[in-house]
Every structure is written in C-alpha cells, then in structure tokens.
Chain A
C-alpha cells in the first residue's frame, strides 16, 4: 500500500511541477488565438490541438491545472484554518460554546453546499474580471467548506481537553488561550493535515462543477471547470478524442489525492 501512495505522491509532484512552470512547457500563452487554425488536430505546434477559438489546448490545460492546483490547496488551507479555530475553540471550551458551534456545523453540513455556493455566488456580481472571478470562486470554497473539518477537530480537541498534560498546564496557571495555542492545537496537527488533504480534491471537484455550470472562473482564464465545459460539445469530443485530456488529468490528480490519504481517513 505504501508503494502505491509513494507512486501517487511522485505523480502528483510531477504534475504539480509541470503546471507550476507552465510558462516553460506551454508552446503559447493560454489566451493567444491562432485564428487560422480553429479546432485543429494535434500537431507538433499544438500538442493537443486547438479549441473552437483557435487557442492551444495543451497550454490551456497546463495553465488551467496550475490555477486549480494552486488555489484549491489555498482554499483548503483557509477552510482548515477556520475549522481549527472554530472546532479547536469549541472542543476545548466545551459547554454552550461547543453546542452552538456544533449546531452551526450541523446546519452547514445539512445544506447541499452547491446550493449554498450558487446562492452566495448569485449575490455577488456575475460579470467580474477573470482574476476576480477566480478569487471569488476559491474564496467561497474556503469560506464555506470548513464545517466537516470543524467537526473532526472539535472531537479531537474535546478528547484533549481532559488529558493529563492539559490539566497540568491549567494547574500551573497557564492561560486558556495559551493552552489552546501551545498544547491543544499542535497535538491536532495530524488531524488538521488529514483534513487539509481531504479538502483539496473536494474543492477541485466543486470548482469543476461550478465551472461547467458557468459560475466558476470566467474566460479567458482557464481552469479545470472551464476546460471540462468543452465536453458539452460531444460531437467535437467524438471527432477529437484528445479533448478528453482535461478529464483524464483531473481523474489522475483527484485519484492521486485519494490514494495519498492515510487509509484510516476513509473509515466510516
């Protein structure tokens, strides 16, 4: 099992590095149009061909993957930080604070969050510049994706609340916030890291869903959601099967994230 995890981690690393240095590998800027060759087949100049606007698909795939692979972890970090704050405080303090926080997380978890994202995205202007749409999409994912992690962190903090070292720290007169910051949260690091890893593929898939629905990152900035929108033109996909490349890469990346998670994180 460890070998599979190592292979997945290496593969993920290679993809991440390739997308991070997209400028070095991409034959053209992602928005550049080759107007003389729309819907071109793969060639030495365009490795995956071009889309209907004549943009190089390989370049768009590299840049789009970079967007998702850089911002999904950033959104996951934001969500995990909020979860650490809410869950850690609630679990450590206990009592009414824990009950209120857990009622809030229950409420958030009971709501299909694509509905929530649609509602909040609709409140914000839809015709924003591409960079702003990028930030809005991933910021919303981070701000609304913390509830499940907060539950796990709260359970962890609750179990640490009455542990010997925390009781000793309290008995020595250590202030509560210091106990939380110096003794409780560092001991929750493995759970926080696992939650961070779990959140990344979830956010990647949610961005893809929002992008296909036209509510994600706006054109011409590429993202996996935007690239997968090309699949809606099934005739073009049948004629040019290499247009499935974004889907294949998404499958590989999300599978790698699932595989590198410790086995016990999948437990019911």
Chain B
C-alpha cells in the first residue's frame, strides 16, 4: 500500500521533471535570438569559421534532438552553460542554493512560529479585540508586496530571513486562525472543554491531531510561498541566492539558466507537497 503511494509520488515527480524539461527546452528553442552567436559578427573570422560555428549549433535547431541532448547532459549532472555568467549552471546552483535554502528555511520557521502564536489566542481567548487587532496587523502585511517588505528591511537593516518570515506569517496566521476556530468548534473538543480538561491538553491531544492534515498541506504550500517571496527579497537586499540569480537571468534573457532554475524550484515545491501529503496520510492512518 505504502510502496504504491510512494511510487506514485515518485512517478509524478519524474513525469513533472520530464514535462517541465520539455517545456523549458521548447522555450529556449523558440525564444527570439536562439542560435545567434555573437562571434559571427567578428569581421576577422573567415567564412569557413563562421560556417563551422553555425554547424556546431545546427543540432540544437531540432527540438527533440536538442531535448534529448539536454536530458543526456542532465543525467550526467551537466545542465548546460549560462550565457550571461559564462559558467556551468551546476556551479552557479552549488554556489547560490545554500544561501536561498538557509533564508527560506529560517523564514519559514519564523513565519510558522509567529503565525501559530498569533492564531492560537484567537481560537482560545475568543475576545473580539485581540482578533480585530491581530487580523488588522496581519491584513496590513498581506496588502504589502514582498518587494516593498524587502525595501523596508533593507533600510531598517533587518535580516533577509526575517523579511521572508514577514511575508509568510500573515498567510499562515490567516489559514491557521480559520482552521483552529473550526477545530475548536468540533463536538469532541467542546466535550473535552466541558469536562474541564486543561487548555494545553486540549490543544495537544485534540486540536493539533485533528488539524494536522490541513496544517501539513499548508506546510507544503508555504514552501512555494517562501520561494516566491525570496526573489524580490534577495534582489533588493542583495542576497546572492537563487532568487537573485533568477532575476539576473531574466534581465539578461539567460534562458538555459532560468529554465533549469524554474524546473528545479518546481521539483523542490512538488517534493515538499508530496512529503506533506505522505505525512498527512500516515497520520490519518495512525489515528484510524
């Protein structure tokens, strides 16, 4: 049973990688300016040299062959060469990825802690004033573009991970608050309260297990939120991560780099969603 579910998730990831790669290769192939080499403009080159340059790129004009070559390279860890950086894409990934992973991980952890800490009193205290002010504060942050949050952090000298946390926590708060309010209204929780169980016990034994599947699903989605927020934040705060690299690649129209990066980010978020889905299923099975 579990083997089958795991296999299905792995197959979905593989299929995504293949389809995403094909889509990426198509984008690169049909982008304006594909196959043009600046060296052809060098007047010192002989006509035969120019023809040789053109011939070296002729294989890339056939999309399927181009994609097959790309896949063969990818299997061997060769994701191509970035036009704008004139460096292998794998080297750029290896340099930039740890920065983004650290920022996103810290930002997510902070966002979850803050979001849950703010949402819990809404469900437990049930006072309108706390709910009003916390919703107002989180609503104001929700209305700010992440680039503006980054500008504010840049000028007030806050860490980059805290900027990601600021973008993520209002979303976590909003969903967690609604979810906790719904869970606290469940009959078995009302019974537990009526029987005089302590708030902590109700929370740990009755609220979190009931809300766990939705919270885990939200955890998967929050990875995508944090990675999306990382682009403007890294660009504006000058943090040398994947987000900044994506922006530089977009401005210099470095499609091989951009497509590999998009594919990579998709796989990361899909893997996060699959992990949260599998954990959620395991929890539901254990509870049953």
Which residues of A line the B interface, CB within 8 A?
103, 106-107, 109-116, 118-123, 125-126, 201, 205-206, 208-209, 212-215, 228, 231-232, 234, 247, 250-251, 254-255, 258, 266-268
List chain A residues, Cβ under 8 A from B30. Answer: 123
**A110 to B277 alpha-carbon distance, docked (Å):** 13
Q: A115-B227, A119-B258, A125-B32 are in contact. Are A258 and B178 (CB under 8 A)?
A: no
Alpha-carbon distance between A103 and B20 when the two chains are bound, in angstroms: 13
| Contact between chains at B179 and A212 (CB < 8 Å) | no
> Could you tell me if B227 and A228 are in contact, using CB atoms closer than 8 angstroms?
no
From A111, A112, A234, A251, contact of B143 by CB (8 A): A251
8 shortest A-B CB distances, which residue pairs? A112-B228, A212-B147, A254-B143, A208-B145, A122-B250, A118-B250, A268-B178, A268-B179
Which residues on the B side are within 8 Å of A125 (C-beta)? 32
Do A255 and B140 have beta carbons less than 8 Å apart? Answer: yes
- Is the pair A110, B273 in contact by a Cβ cutoff of 8 Å? yes
What interface size band does chain B fall in? Answer: 35 or more
Q: Is the CB of B261 within 8 A of A115?
A: yes
Across the interface, do B143 and A209 meet the contact criterion of CB distance under 8 Å?
A: no
Whether a CB of chain A sits under 8 angstroms from the CB of B123 is: no
Identity of the chain B residue whose Cβ is nearest the Cβ of A121 in the assembled complex: B250
B39-83 Cβ-contact flags toward A at 8 Å (1 or 0): 000000000000000000000000000000000000000000000
Contacting residues, chain A, for B144 (C-beta < 8 A): 251
Contact between A122 and B146, CB atoms less than 8 A apart:
no
Which secondary structure dominates chain A's binding surface?
helix
- Contact status B16-A107, CB under 8 Å: yes
Q: Which of B231-263 contact A (CB under 8 A)?
A: 231-232, 235-236, 246-247, 249-251, 253-255, 258-259, 261-262
For the A-B complex with A122-B250, A205-B145 known, give 20 more contacts whose Cβ atoms are closer than 8 Å: A107-B266, A110-B270, A111-B265, A115-B265, A119-B27, A119-B259, A119-B262, A122-B249, A122-B251, A201-B143, A209-B147, A212-B236, A234-B155, A251-B143, A251-B144, A255-B140, A258-B139, A266-B174, A268-B175, A268-B218
Cross-interface CB contact of B27 among A115, A123, A212, cutoff 8 Å: A123
- A123 and chain B: residue at smallest CB distance: B31
Contact A250 B143 (CB under 8 A): yes
Contact A258 B142, CB 8 Å, known A119-B259, A212-B147, A267-B178: yes
Residues of A within 8 A of B214 (CB): 268
Q: Are B232 and A114 in touch, CB under 8 angstroms?
A: yes
